[in-house]
Amino acid sequence: MLTDAQLAIVKSTVPLLESGGEALTTHFYKMLMRDYPQVHPLFNRAHQASGDQPRALANGVLMYARHIDRLEEMGPLAAQIINKHVAVQVQPEHYPMVGDCLLRAIREVLGAEIATDAVIDAWAAAYGQLADILIGAERQQYDAKAAAPGGWRGARNFVVTRKVAESEEITSFYFMPQDGGALLDFEPGQYIGLRMVVDGLEQRRQYSLSAPLRQQGQPLQYRISVKREAEGKVSRHLHDEIHVGAVVELFPPAGDFTLTASDKPLVLISGGVGITPMMTMLAAALPTGRPVHFIHAARHGGVHAFRRQVEELAAQHPQLQAHFCYERARAGDPAPYATGFIDAALLQQWLPQTRDVDAYFVGPKPFMKAIKRALGALGVPAAQSRYEFFGPAAALE
């Protein structure tokens, strides 16, 4: 339990974190990677190199310090962190390593004049409180997933049963458990953790589940659909080296970006590979009869995954309206589609007349910023506008 004095000290550091939090967390990551190599698999090095990981941590630390006496006001950030940790299997023994480097980074970046012993002691108590909260919440999830029908704890071996090219850069992988046992069901929109060794190094990633567990005429299986990233070690390894019959390790499904039951019109907006969680949401929503507006943006038809499947569903379900937008259409791209970028004017045409909708959107960060701004301008309530990040969370404002 933090003392009143420690609470006051932590809150007093908020201005310093606002101005220099990213420098602090960048230094922290360098120390953590150097001094505790056992945590390397938990972090995506591409996100560290781009600065996304330090920025995400800086935002998280800032939010925690700002709301340390009212943690419920952190909103969905805590749940997002917990689910990301569960997806890559963060364990209690990792927290002291992180705490050691965080406190040393505070001391070294801020300097002894600002980071006094009292400041370090206050932040040690604050970090201990946060670690206890996260460890407890993560333990509950691990226990629940292990006890649920078809569930398991830690890594489980799965066999690749199918590998299907969905576009010029997105490929789907289907997995069934090697032990032949039951499978844990998941909520539409969740992702699954994957562990593999690439070039001699262990890597862990999360990929959205892109199809329901139960599909007509198919055995129970998981499907992920992965975009080949030019600088993505794991995505390139999956595309080039993982074929039917390969065995991979998966962690149980996780994630809090899930479809909420409602009778409101549903708006699903995706950009690029952001279409993957929308496919499970779409499959879950259609049997309910609620109106669905499915909107997808791609650079061109060659990189547009799942168009045929969505159009077939629209032909079978009159309540589904599908709209596509290509940045620069290529000759031979199937019509109809809009061209350019999705903005408020285009959404004005494609959204239902009512603005009392449930909107979900996923895609590259600039795309999500534009969609969030457009939905707000059109009057969609902020509380009914939900989004997920592929990678470290960031502010869209």
Catalytic residues: 95, 138
**CA 174 remoteness from chain centre:** 20
Given the DSSP bridges, would you call strands 222-227 and 170-177 parallel, antiparallel or unpaired?
antiparallel
Tell me which residue of 65, 62, 134 sits closest to 98, measured CA to CA.
Answer: 134
The sign of the torsion formed by the CA atoms of 186, 305, 367, 380 equals negative
CA distances from 73 to 46, 58, 62, 140, 241 (A): 31, 17, 13, 22, 45
Which residues lie closer than 8 Å to 198 by C-beta, 6 or more apart?
A: 233, 234, 237
Please give the backbone phi and psi of residue 110, each rounded to the nearest 5 degrees, phi first: -80, -25
Separation of alpha carbons 30 and 46, rounded Å: 14
